[in-house]
């Protein structure tokens, strides 16, 4: 369950905009709508990045043969990798290669992807229930299926390429409910969703059964199990970039530690629409992709008040030698009211249970999470969520399974933070950005697409961001879809390509529901969270 979706009621209490707002609420909403600034240079140190797979890529700077490119991608995480790969794969089919420049403010994959727990967990029943009234059951089900595709596509890629080191795996996830009301509500949502997504399977357990099968104590009042996944996200993204840089070495250029200071239009240049300004110079291009998640409003001012940052906390914990050894094939979510904490376990090493990556604790920060809203500084570490995460698993698991052994004491090993991107309607923003949002309008002649224009796409700015704490079940598919849009191949009936579903884009991607359109953004203001969750 997403960190943000499960705690949206707390976010709302921090940002609600109804009559009679007090000064505190107004200040929180104002902070959440501010300009993000750039990623800080001294972030907390995440678990994954201490030993990069390819040290030469971590801080790579590849000079351009000229200051010109077709596409500039801002960001280097899972979204950026998916966009770049998709553009190259689409181009391979019709024989056109584009020059892509990837600009990363810090080291490679140092943002939300590199700070994620790697839990590829969709809660389709929650997503379906949240959007069925506004979008209708058919469209809500298509959104849920899109999330489910992420695990399928990531596993398919890792299996096809032999990327075992990325630890991409299917697992059984267990939702553990601490009261009967939450349990019964989740069971009801699952039953309703399965009328529209019958292929999705889940098993339900009462409190007695949960205690018997999942090694938990009497605090747990029920459970639900279904299929999810996990991955080492930093390793996977590194592998994608390594392969792309090898295959397209004359067309792909990676420049880390290169923040984008500004974007301007080139009114007097007939060949390029934009100039992307960095400390190293200006790169001319026709397409700019914002793959910066919560930081997108820095360069897209029209998104302020619709997309904000939220400080998320993750810990790495050693479970002790008595903890059940599932070899990384199980994960857990502890659900209580509108909140949840999530844990995923890495595969076993030399007979010892793998480390646990435990995230959540949002509501434990000051003001039921208010102090974490409108925050873009991942050098901060809030002690209250850290303390909560350090004790949640040992509180609900049977004590005999959480003890320490002679050579394996349980407990927290590391804690770090990352910035989550939150939208006002709890859905990602994917597609072309209008000039009203960017404040930039290239001086270009009118252009209407025709069947003869395959592969020709009008210059513009694009975005895939705002995953609301569920980036591992949104980013790859959203980035892949954006690459198709950039390539002008939405109508191609693709069959058998690794890493994307078969068929034309509309058969698997609900573009109208995720597009950053003016109509949608009216309902995506941060204060509108109440309409769905309070």
User: For 3-25, what is the mean pLDDT?
Assistant: 49
Per-residue pLDDT, 469:
94
Predicted confidence (pLDDT) per residue in 154-170, tens digit: 999 999 999 999 999 99
Which phi and psi angles does 237 have, rounded to 5°?
A: -60, -40
DSSP-H helix ranges across 375-417 = 383-396
Q: What pLDDT band is residue 449 in, cutting at 50, 70 and 90? A: very low
Q: Report the pLDDT averaged over residues 183-204.
A: 97
Q: Report pLDDT for 402.
A: 65
Cβ-contact 482, 431 below 8 angstroms: yes
What per-residue confidence (pLDDT) applies to 334?
97
Q: What is the pLDDT of residue 450?
A: 41
Give per-residue pLDDT as tens, 59-73. 999 999 999 999 999
Sequence-distant contacts of 127-134: CB under 8 A, at least 24 apart: 127/5, 128/189, 128/192, 128/193, 128/196, 128/197, 129/189, 129/192, 129/193, 130/5, 130/426, 130/532, 130/533, 131/427, 134/523, 134/532
Q: What is the pLDDT of residue 405?
A: 44
The answer to whether residue 445 scores a pLDDT higher than 60 is: no
As a whole number, mean pLDDT of residues 103-130 equals: 97
Q: What is the pLDDT of residue 24?
A: 65
The residue with greater pLDDT, 178 or 407, is 178
What integer pLDDT is reported at residue 353 of this predicted model?
86
Residue 20 has pLDDT above 70, yes or no: no
pLDDT category, 387, cuts 50, 70, 90? very high
* Residue 317, beta-bridge partner list: 356, 412
Mean pLDDT to the nearest integer, 229-239: 98
3-state secondary structure of 266: coil
Domains of the chain: 70-114+234-306+425-533 (3.50.50.60)
User: What's the confidence (pLDDT) of residue 454?
Assistant: 57
- 253-262 average pLDDT score: 98
Contacts of 47 (CB under 8 A, 6+ apart): 314, 316, 355, 357, 413, 414, 416
Which residues, at least 6 apart from 270, have a Cβ–Cβ distance to it below 8 Å? none
Q: At which residue do the structure tokens 């700070």 appear? A: 115
pLDDT at 403: 56
Does residue 495 have a pLDDT over 50?
yes
Query: In b/e form, how buried is each residue of 381-419, taking b as 16+ CB within 10 angstroms?
Result: ebeebbebbbebbbebbeeebbbeeeeeebebeebbbbb
Confidence of residue 524 (pLDDT cuts 50, 70, 90): confident
So what's the pLDDT on residue 94?
A: 85
The pLDDT of residue 410 is: 58
| Beta sheet of 274-278, edge-to-edge order | 260-265, 274-278, 281-285
Convert the pLDDT of each residue in 269-324 to its tens digit.
889 999 999 999 999 999 999 999 999 999 999 999 999 999 999 999 988 777 87
Q: For position 18, what pLDDT does the model report? A: 38
Of 359, 357, 488, the C-alpha closest to 432 is 488
Residue 17 in this model has a pLDDT that exceeds 80: no
Mean per-residue pLDDT for 360-367? Answer: 90
Residue 312, pLDDT score: 97
């Amino acid at each position: 369950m997403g960190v943000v979706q499960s705690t949206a009621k707390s976010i709302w209490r921090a940002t609600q905009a109804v009559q009679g707002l007090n000064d505190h609420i107004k200040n929180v909403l104002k902070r959440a709508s501010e300009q993000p600034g750039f990623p800080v240079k001294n972030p907390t140190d995440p678990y994954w990045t201490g030993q990069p797979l390819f040290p030469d890529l971590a801080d790579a700077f590849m000079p351009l043969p000229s200051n010109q490119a077709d596409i500039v991608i801002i960001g280097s995480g899972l979204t950026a990798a998916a966009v770049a790969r998709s553009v190259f794969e689409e181009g391979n089919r019709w024989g056109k290669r584009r020059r892509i420049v990837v600009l990363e403010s810090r080291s490679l994959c140092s943002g939300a992807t590199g700070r994620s727990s790697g839990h590829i967990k969709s809660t389709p029943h929650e997503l379906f229930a949240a959007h069925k009234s506004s979008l209708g059951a058919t469209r809500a089900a298509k959104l849920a299926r899109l999330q489910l595709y992420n695990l399928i596509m990531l596993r398919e890629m890792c299996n096809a390429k032999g990327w075992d080191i990325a630890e991409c795996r299917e697992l059984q996830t267990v939702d553990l409910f601490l009261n009967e009301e939450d349990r019964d509500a989740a069971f009801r949502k699952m039953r309703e969703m399965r009328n529209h997504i019958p292929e999705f399977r889940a098993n339900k357990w009462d409190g007695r059964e949960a205690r018997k099968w999942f090694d938990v104590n009497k605090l747990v009042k029920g459970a639900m199990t279904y299929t999810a996944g996990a991955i080492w996200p930093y390793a996977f993204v590194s592998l994608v970039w390594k392969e792309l840089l090898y295959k397209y070495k004359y067309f792909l250029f990676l420049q880390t530690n290169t923040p984008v200071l500004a974007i301007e239009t080139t009114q007097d240049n007939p060949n390029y629409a934009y100039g992307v300004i960095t400390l190293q110079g200006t790169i001319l291009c026709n397409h700019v992709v914002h793959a910066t998640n919560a930081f997108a409003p820095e360069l897209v001012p029209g998104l302020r008040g619709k997309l904000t940052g939220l400080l998320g906390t993750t810990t790495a914990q050693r479970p002790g030698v008595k903890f059940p050894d599932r070899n990384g094939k199980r994960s857990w979510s502890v659900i209580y009211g509108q909140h949840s904490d999530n844990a995923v376990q890495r595969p076993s090493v030399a007979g010892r249970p793998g480390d646990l990556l435990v995230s959540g604790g949002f509501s434990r920060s000051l003001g039921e999470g208010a102090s974490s809203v409108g925050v873009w500084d991942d050098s901060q570490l809030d002690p209250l969520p850290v303390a909560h995460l350090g004790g949640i698993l040992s509180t609900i698991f049977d004590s005999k399974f959480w003890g320490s052994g002679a050579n394996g004491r349980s407990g927290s090993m590391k804690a770090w933070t990352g910035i989550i991107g939150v939208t006002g309607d709890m859905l990602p923003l994917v597609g072309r950005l209008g000039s009203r949002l960017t404040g930039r309008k290239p001086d270009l002649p009118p252009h209407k697409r025709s069947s003869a224009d395959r592969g020709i796409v009008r210059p513009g700015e694009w975005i895939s961001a705002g995953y609301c704490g569920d980036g591992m079940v949104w980013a790859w598919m959203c980035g892949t879809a954006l690459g198709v849009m950039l390539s002008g191949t939405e109508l191609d009936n693709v069959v058998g390509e690794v890493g994307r579903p078969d068929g034309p884009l509309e058969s698997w991607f609900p573009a109208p529901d995720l597009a950053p359109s003016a109509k949608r953004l009216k309902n995506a203001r941060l204060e509108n969270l109440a309409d769905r969750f309070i």
